[in-house]
Structure 1
Amino acid sequence: MERRTVNTPGMVQFADFDSRGYPMVDVRTGYGQWVGSYEQTVEDAMDLAVLARLAVPDWGAAARAADLGCGTGRTGVWLRDRGVGAVDGVDLTPEMLELARAKGVHDRLVEADLAATGLPGVAYDLVVSSLVDEHLADLAPLYREAFRLARPGGLCVLVGLHPYFIMAAGMPTHFDGADGSPIAITTHIHLVSDHLTAGLAAGWQLAEMHEAVVDDTWVALKPKWERYRHRPVSAAYVWRKPA
């Protein structure tokens, strides 16, 4: 395993902020190894609680959603619990898809790259991507594919780690390996302006943005994060496709 990150030249480099130096693996390898403990280690406060605070999405009005980077299916479960009619999921990691399939909330599950999902175009009222963008070297392909999938007037909702938090903590996405030692998964930093540039270039209109900070809930979950109190930890973007 390598002690390095791969970043696009000229962009903000995670390697410049890395304070952990964990051995690093690619996305498919990492999530394939993490799958057994993933849902026990990823806190809902990071993404699902942020989605719940958004004002623009009317989740129950979405007849069909695309869940990009669906992982174990936890986002799909959340969407169905909020009234989304049907959900199709896409993920790069077969082990994650196996767990998602067992949950039975997705109508269709596809193993594919998020830049080329193979899902039908102009077919979804809602496109959602959660905790994915930090693994992408370039945001543009994701925003373009989401735009292709969405119906006119449809929404794209993206939630992930805030770039400030990645830089301040110097901490990549990581998990404990079989021997208990930490393993990092390829991590990239995308500034808020990178999201705005990529989304607008793809044709989206920004409808809402929410930044969540480390608060009492987070400190209760992770007492060592007291030093990050009031610092941004997650960011959510809601985009609308012109009708």
Structure 2
Amino acid sequence: MVDFADFDSRNYPMVDIRTGYAGWAETYEQTVQDAMDLAVLDRLAVPHWDGARRAADLGCGTGRTGAWLRGRGVAAVDGVDLTPQMLDRARARGAHDRLVEADLAATGLPGAGYDLVVSSLVDEHLADLGPLYREARRLARPGGLFVLVGLHPYFIMAAGMPTHFTAADGAPTAIATHIHLVSEHLSAGLAAGWQLAEMREAVVDEEWIALKPKWEKYRSHPVSAAYVWRNPA
């Protein structure tokens, strides 16, 4: 296992997930770029979004992913998040049919109840990927998909940058960040009984440079990774 502390070049004070996202909830929408995750989801070939009758949005946050799924034709979306303040934002957005405050390893959602399980920008906060992959498998119907998208481990290492936000007092604050190599995702997914159906990596391109000119030094570096898993049961 790779320790993020070996790469941390910012040395921001670091807080736990619930504390961090409670503090970030008000400004989250203004600081997270769709190019990081939603644009990557949009380029996936295997998922037929409009064929999903019900989806589980794990780590739903403010409802960005849920709204994107509904916009792609997913009929119904249930969301789970650990942070009440983020759930309040998602509730106001109105994209989810049901919102639950719970740990992603034990959501309380019905087993085998979803055609699609999605997790976006979550895995870097988990010390162990196994519980997420196992819970997603429990939730998915036979033949259902689990789609996970997040920061590429290479980018976290190259940039030395944790997930972070600017706190109310103006101080940069990091949220607990872990590095999971691609092989860790493959191992966790296979151990949970998933079959890999697609993987896509996105790099820092012209779109990213336009959004973040300071990232010119990272041009062509992998920045996001997406995995599509199928439940063979």
Query: What TM-score does the superposition give when structure 1 sets the normalisation length?
Result: 0.95
Q: Helix, strand or coil for the counterpart of 1:127?
A: strand
2:203 aligns with 213
Show structure 1 runs of 4+ deviating over 4 A.
none
1:184 aligns with 174
Aligned ranges 1:68-217 → 2 under 5 Å:
68-217=58-207
Structure 1 window deviating more from structure 2 (200-209 vs 173-182): it is 173-182
Cα deviation for residue 34 of structure 1 reads: 0.3
**Separation of aligned partners in 1, 2:10 and 2:71:** 37
**Separation of aligned partners in 2, 1:53 and 1:180:** 36
**Separation of aligned partners in 2, 1:23 and 1:114:** 25
Is residue 14 of structure 2 the alignment partner of residue 30 of structure 1?
no
Aligned-residue RMSD, C-alpha: 0.4
The one-letter code matched in structure 1 to 2:225 is A
**Separation of aligned partners in 2, 1:191 and 1:87:** 29
**Separation of aligned partners in 1, 2:93 and 2:136:** 24
**Separation of aligned partners in 2, 1:191 and 1:157:** 17
**Separation of aligned partners in 2, 1:103 and 1:28:** 20
**Separation of aligned partners in 1, 2:112 and 2:79:** 16
Deviation string for 1:84-135 (max 9, x for gaps)?
0000000000000001001111111000000000000000000000000000
Deviation string for 1:162-214 (max 9, x for gaps)?
00000000000000011212000000000000000000000000000000000
1:8 aligns with none
The one-letter code matched in structure 2 to 1:86 is A
The one-letter code matched in structure 2 to 1:180 is G
Unaligned runs of 5+ in 2: none
Q: Helix, strand or coil for the counterpart of 2:217?
A: helix
Query: What TM-score does the superposition give when structure 2 sets the normalisation length?
Result: 0.99
**Separation of aligned partners in 1, 2:136 and 2:157:** 27
Cα deviation for residue 216 of structure 1 reads: 0.2
**Separation of aligned partners in 2, 1:98 and 1:36:** 10
Q: Helix, strand or coil for the counterpart of 2:103?
A: coil
The one-letter code matched in structure 1 to 2:204 is V
Q: Helix, strand or coil for the counterpart of 1:195?
A: helix
Number of equivalenced pairs: 233
Give the counterpart of 2:221 among 226, 231, 234: 231
The one-letter code matched in structure 1 to 2:218 is Y
Q: Helix, strand or coil for the counterpart of 1:155?
A: strand
Seq. identity, %: 82
**Separation of aligned partners in 2, 1:90 and 1:80:** 16
